[in-house]
Amino acid sequence: MTVRPRIGVTVSDRGATLTWLAHWLAVRRAGGRPVRLSAGGRTDTTGLDGVVIGGGDDIGAEMYGGEVTLDLRIDPDRDRMERRALDWALHADVPVLGVCRGAQMINIHLGGTLHQDMYTAYRGLPRLRTPLARKRITLAPESRLARLMGGGRVAVNSLHHQAVNRLGRGLRVAARDAHRVVQALEHPAAGFLMGVQWHPEFLVFRRRHQALYRGLVRAARE
C-alpha cells in the first residue's frame, strides 16, 4: 500500500468549512493525506510533506508596505502563522502550492508587494466574482504551471480583489489574464513553489485544475 504524503492546508478559523472540505477532497483525490492548519488550531508543521497556503481574508498592508485602511477584513494571526509555515517549508525544501491569498502570501514572503485593490490599479477591469470557471487566462509557455496544466489558455474562477504587484525574489509570472493581471507565479529554482490566483479546490473535478494537487503530491513523494 502506497503511503499518502501528509499535506498541510492552511485555512481561516472562521467560515472555512466549505473551503477546507474542497481542499480535503482535492488532496485526497491526488493521493495525499490532508492536515488542517489554522492560527487557532494546529500550527505545527512537523511531519508534513507538503503545504497548501489557502485562500481567505485580505493580507494586512503592513506586511508589504502598503497603505493601512480600515475597510479590509484581515487576519493578523493567520498572516503570522502562514509566514512561519513558509519559512519552514522553504528551508526544508517542502513543496508549496499557494491558492488565491496563498499566492499573494508567497509573493510577500519573498519581498514582493500587492495591489490592495486591483479594480483601482487596472482601469476598466470587469468586476467578476464567481466560484465558476468564467475567466480565461493564458499560461506562460515555458512555465512549470503550463507543463502541469497542459499549456495554452484555461478557464478559472475569480474571488479576489487584491493582486500581485511587484514580484518577490526569484519569482516569475506563470499566467496572466486579458487585462495583464498576474494570475499565477512560480519559483523556477525551487523544487515546487507555485501560487495561483484562483481557487482550484472549487474546480476539483476539472482535470486541469486537479493536476495542481497531483503535482504537489507527486513532489511531496520525491
CATH number at residue 44: 3.40.50.880
Q: Are 32 and 215 in contact (CB under 8 A)?
A: no
Tell me which of 115, 187, 199, 209 is the catalytic residue: 199
Res 100 pLDDT > 50: yes
Q: For this structure, is 199 an active site residue?
A: yes
Catalytic: 201? yes
- Which residue in 82, 160, 201, 209 is the catalytic one? 201
Q: Catalytic: which of 100, 109, 115, 187?
A: 100
- Does residue 42 lie in a domain region? yes
All three cell numbers of 63, joined, read: 506586511
Rounded to whole angstroms, the Cα distance separating 120 from 208 reads 31
- Give the containing element (helix H, strand E) for 98: strand 96-99
Domain membership of residue 125 as a residue range: 6-221
Q: How many domains does the chain have?
A: 1
pLDDT digits (tens, 9 = 90+) for 115-139: 988 888 888 888 888 899 999 999 9
Q: Each residue of 54-97: pLDDT tens digit?
A: 998 888 888 887 766 655 678 889 999 999 999 999 999 999 99
Please confirm, yes or no, whether 82 is among the known catalytic residues. Answer: no
